[in-house]
Amino acid sequence: MERTSAPPGPSLLRPLSIVIVIVLVTGCSGSGDSGGGGTAPSRASMLEGVRSWGYQLQGYESGGLDAIHEAGFGLMVVGYSSDGSEAAEFTAEQVAYMKNSGDPGRSKLVLAYMSIGEAETWRFYFDPAWVTEHPDGSYTVNRPPAPDFLCDPNPAWPGAFKVRYWDPNWQRIIISNPGAHPIIGDRKSYLDRIIDAGFDGVYLDIVDAFQYFGPTEIGGNDERRSAACDMVTLVAAIAQHARAVRGKSSFLVVPQNGSTILDEANYPADTLPQGTTPGAFALKQGLIYLNAMDAIGAESTFYFGDRENNNRLDVQTTALAALRSFRASGKPVLAVDYLSPSKPNPDGLPFPDTVDDFYQRCQAERFIPYATVRMLDTLTINPTQPPAR
């Protein structure tokens, strides 16, 4: 779900779809892992036939899974749990039901949503003692006992808190827990739960947290000047664990937002190995990132604004330029704008015109569009734009 807009600045990501390379780097000082053994042809072929997608994270009651099962979308993004909690995690049978429509020719890919840049009060790892909720719905963080990785509450999304995503304890919650974790003990990581349930991949949210923690030069708070590199490393580690450690070579990794992560402005010279330029380092990060991820999600690229739904047309040119570069590098762009016929339209246009305009803009860019409500609590089927197979 949308948290921040992209900072201004040129996108320097170059088309790299013809480059086949394995780069070994260690985190953000020059060496580490590129995300699990190259771009597997099976992953690319899985996405080749996707012409439509849907996005629903809550509201699965009253036959919600039946609607997903029957929907003609080529790809769905859903929660890993019916209400976000551990008790309501989807079973392997439920995931298989969502994927299959009773017709072998109509099976769909199903990705599980996972926030990696914010912690959420309704998740299995969250201790209510960490925070205090006030009568007005706001939160404060209690120190102690809140862990060091827990940061400021997100005022736009009650119950969500920024996290220092480079913190080892957070990464063990998210990626892999060898046991004896100070918070979750011997319980499985978030990613391992998703893998074990049989999802085709993971849809990563709050990737753009690097903008919040990053250098003041890009509008960040300067807490972590290597924030963009840390996020690239985290996404690559998620891919590496799923594909190499767990052996799921066709597991899809799709980050949402943060499309400017490969701009050289995100890599200040003072954070780089001696003799390395920001441009050269950004290019290396691009190779790592493109090797780890399979597509990119993008919110509100065209109808952007402060309204929950139905903002006026306001094309985000910086993000659009970056998304074009990802598309030119062979990565599908899953675009979602929040347009709802049940809400007032500030432009006074009939809603099919607004929705159709969004779809036409996406199709002109070779993006895969989906228009729905920001709460993502229903599966929207737009009458003038039915799911394409």
**Residues ≥6 apart with Cβ < 8 Å to 343:** 308, 309, 310, 373
Residue whose entry in the numeric block shows the structure tokens 């890599």: 267
Mean pLDDT of 94-102: 91
Count Cβ atoms below 10 Å from residue 216 Cβ, excluding itself.
Answer: 10
Q: Which of 77, 36, 101, 79 is nearest to 193 (CA)?
A: 79
Q: How confident is the model at residue 13 (pLDDT cuts 50, 70, 90)?
A: very low
Model confidence, pTM: 0.91
**Phi and psi (nearest 5°) for 128?**
-55, -25
Instruction: Examine the pLDDT at 39 and tell me if it is beyond 90.
Output: no
User: CA 81 to CA 197: how far, in whole Å?
Assistant: 10
The tens digit of pLDDT for each residue in 298-335 reads: 999 999 999 899 999 999 999 999 999 999 999 999 99
Flag the least confident range among 92-106, 129-143, 182-196: 92-106
pLDDT at 32 over 70: no
Amino acid at 46: M
Lowest mean pLDDT segment, chosen from 50-59, 316-325, 350-359: 350-359
Of all residues in the chain, what percent carry a pLDDT higher than 90? 80
* Sequence spans of domains, the chain: 41-117+165-300+320-332
Report d(CA 116, CA 128) in Å as an integer: 19
* Rounded-to-integer distance, Cα 148 and Cα 200, Å: 32
Return mean pLDDT, the chain.
Answer: 90
Q: Exposed, middle or buried by CB within 10 Å (0-12, 13-18, 19+), for 195?
A: buried
Decide if pLDDT at 21 tops 50: no
41-117+165-300+320-332: what fold?
TIM Barrel (3.20.20)
pLDDT at residue 35 tops 80: no
pLDDT in tens, 266-310: 999 999 999 999 999 999 999 999 999 999 999 999 999 998 999
Mean pLDDT of 154-158: 92
- 355-369: pLDDT as tens digits: 999 999 999 999 999
Q: Which has the higher per-residue pLDDT, 177 or 28?
A: 177
Burial class (CB in 10 A: 0-12, 13-18, 19+), 219: middle
d(CA 253, CA 112): 10
